[in-house]
Amino acid sequence: MKKITVLFAILMMVAACKDKNPFLADWNTPYGIPPFDQIKTENYIPAIKEGIEQNKKEIEAIINNPEAPNFANTVAAYELSGQLLAKVSGVLFNLAETDSDSTISKIEDEANKLLTAHSDEIFMNRKLFERVKAVYEADQSRLDREQQMTLKKLYQAFTRNGVDLADEAQEKLKEINQALSDAQHKFGDNLLAQNNAFKEKFGIPVSAYPDEMASCPDRERRQAMFEAYSNRSNHGDEFDNKALCLQILKLKAQKAKLLGFETFAAYQLDNKMAHDPQTVDAFLDEIQVAANAKSKEEVADMQKVMDRDIAAGLLPKGSKIEPWDWFYYAEKVRKEKYDLDEEQTKPYFKMENVRNGIFYAANLLYGINVEPLDNAPKYNPEVDVFKVTDSDGSLLGIFMTDYFPRSTKRGGAWMNNFRDQYVDKDGNEVRPIIVNVGNFNAPTDSLPGLLTIDQVETMFHEFGHALHGLLTKCHYPSVSGTSVARDFVETFSQFNENWAFQPEILAQYAKHYKTGEVIPDSLVNKILSARQFNQGFMTAELCAASILDMKWHELSEEQLDGIDIKAFEDKVCKDMGLIKEIIPRYRTTYFNHIFNSGYSAGYYSYLWSEVLDKDAFDYFKQQGIYNKDVATRFRKTFLEKGGSEEPMVLYEMFKGSQPDPKAMLRARGLIK
């Protein structure tokens, strides 16, 4: 009797813990937004563990289903499984990027270990794979196209994650995946610490580096900032990433070899649009040649301005443009050539006004409406929450913005989902909850957040991703929204940039923060005239980073032995003809995209996607850039379909032809 009483007490305690854990209950919040104020750090790991147990039971139910495998009882059932895990992960990993501290970092690390092991269990489960394989190899003619693509993606998830490996090889792959998870997490922590150290030393966040370099007349300070910025996590201290980079690269090379690929680049590209490293290398080489030629012209223009400073006694004789001079003298050249000074434009680009302009453009093109959602839960006071509806008033989703730097936020700008779009088991459509995050110029005691031209463009870029997530109309999470090939996903974010400086849209949002005056036509014309300015530099540094990414991931494990990171970088830059005044946009030790994100052997995708985006915009210009029929077709063909069709099939459906491969080079002014 006593044992029963004790057991009952334990069960009651477990039940009470579950009741107190908000992840284990339905969320009685507006539109199912996470109740951030109720979520405690101690809730995450128990919820993840519970989610894993639930998911294991769901997987077992699929495996043990006595009926013959079909799409509904195997693939669709899998797509609807793991919802508690998705619920917890959606919150934890968003906050780990935006509101991290040592506690959250440790929780994220533990969660990654648990989720990596669980993922390996699923995708190395031969019994589950046999059911998926049976559906894949059966007649698919009765499946619609979205179902076929969902099935293909799931089948490849197994084959690309070691389901066919022998037991010993599977165990080795599990070890590699866990080691990768640990090393990547450590890489991110080190970089966040270095970004904060940069801010402490120079008084500006890393995100403000280009702006500060363009306006700082003190050459010694510029050099010091350049050297600190370009050597982040490369100082031989506790935050040094060199050994971690090589460890991550070796682990990836081992993984690729186990899975039957010569290099990790070959593995990564096998299911992308580009398909193989040779295609990407040739694509990038052509761009780099054009960018190098243009950047040499830009150096010559800047040197002329520097020579005048030398003649005026401002610099020693014989001074030459160095990497730390580029932003500063490029800004001087821009002022001379186009009479364009960012101090003139910033007052018209108050963050809130720019955001209104983004919403206006989306309404103009796609008929959607965005309105503030007052009293909605927020994970940080700086977050703003909006309700997004279609022209008929139906809900499209919830959109959050979090635009200013914090010491707890990683650098850069990005879009993410707290909740994906899908159709649940009862046929109800679940609409997404999406966030755009940035590190733009923050308000001060005397000024609101006033943005640079590049930051305005970045805001439009990230909302392009948000539109892709908000407008999607798919049934299955794995193909909804931005769940498309990596070298296709940037098409829609970059396409949205094209609207940032259209005169008609500027007239709606570019208003002086003090007077409310609309930006004058003379200033608009200067912005438009300078659109191709400095594109040699911009393209060269981006392409150089893409080439560096590819070259690292084209190495085998043996080739990585004893390699010196700086010597390797120097050789890659020399081989590509990069001029000494430019370095890759990201050097190895702070290349977060490829060492702690999903862009390994994939950073080229920004340029690859830009070919599609610029060709699509050329088509818009031919038909009229506010042509409702074309915009509707763009929405229905791309933004609503997510990954439910092959990328090039969608593109040809939209335009009626393949893209012009020179469209991007022309748009950047690198060729005529």
Which ranges of 124-215 would DSSP assign to H, the alpha helix?
126-137, 145-159, 167-202, 209-215
Contacts of residue 170, Cβ cutoff 8 Å, sequence gap at least 6: 120, 124, 162
> Do the Cβ atoms of 265 and 550 come closer than 8 Å?
yes
User: How is residue 106 written in tokens?
Assistant: 């440790």
Looking at this protein, which amino acid is placed at residue 223?
Answer: Q
Structure tokens at 408: 């707890």
The closest alpha carbon to 454, from 507, 406, 500, 516, belongs to 500
The whole-angstrom separation of Cα 13 and Cα 259 is 46
Side chain identity, residue 289: V
Distance of alpha carbon 205 from alpha carbon 444, whole angstroms = 14
**Euclidean distance between CA atoms 433 and 592, whole angstroms:** 25
Please give the Cα distance from 602 to 595 (Å, whole number). 11
Q: What are phi and psi for residue 7, nearest 5 degrees? A: -60, -40
How buried is residue 324: exposed, middle or buried, by Cβ count under 10 Å (0-12/13-18/19+)?
buried
| Tally of CA atoms within 13 A in the half-sphere of 318 that contains its CB | 0
Separation of alpha carbons 540 and 213, rounded Å: 18
Angstrom distance (rounded) from CA 78 to CA 56: 11
Could you give the CA distance from residue 444 to residue 149 in angstroms, rounded to a whole number? 49
Per the structure block, which two tokens stand in for 487? Answer: 């070298």
- Report the distance separating Cα 368 and Cα 394, nearest Å: 10
Rounded CA separation 403/415 (Å):
11
DSSP states along 590-657: G-HHHHSSS-TTTTTHHHHHHHHHHHHHHHHHHH-TT-HHHHHHHIIIIITTTTSS-HHHHHHHHHSS
What are the distances in angstroms from CA 35 to CA 31, 378, 396, 474? 11, 8, 20, 26
Strands 433-437 and 395-402: parallel
Task: Give the burial string for 208-243 (b: 16+ CB within 10 Å, else e).
Answer: bbbbbbbebeebeebeebbebbbebbbeeeebbbbe
Nearest in space to 408 (alpha carbons), one of 664, 195, 108, 211: 195
Q: Torsions phi, psi of 140, nearest 5? A: -100, 10
With beta carbons less than 8 A apart as the criterion, state whether 18 and 59 touch: no
Which conformational region is residue 562 in: left (phi greater than 0), alpha (psi within -120 to 50 degrees), or beta? left
Measured CA to CA, the distance from residue 257 to residue 555 in angstroms comes to 11
419 forms bridges with which residues in the sheet?
Answer: 433
Of 211, 205, 212, 226, which Cα lies nearest the Cα of 453? 211
Pairing state between β 422-423 and 414-419: unpaired
Looking at the DSSP bridge assignments, the partners of residue 402 are 437
- Which of 551, 598, 603, 601 lies closest to 572, judged by CA? 551
Catalytic residues: 462
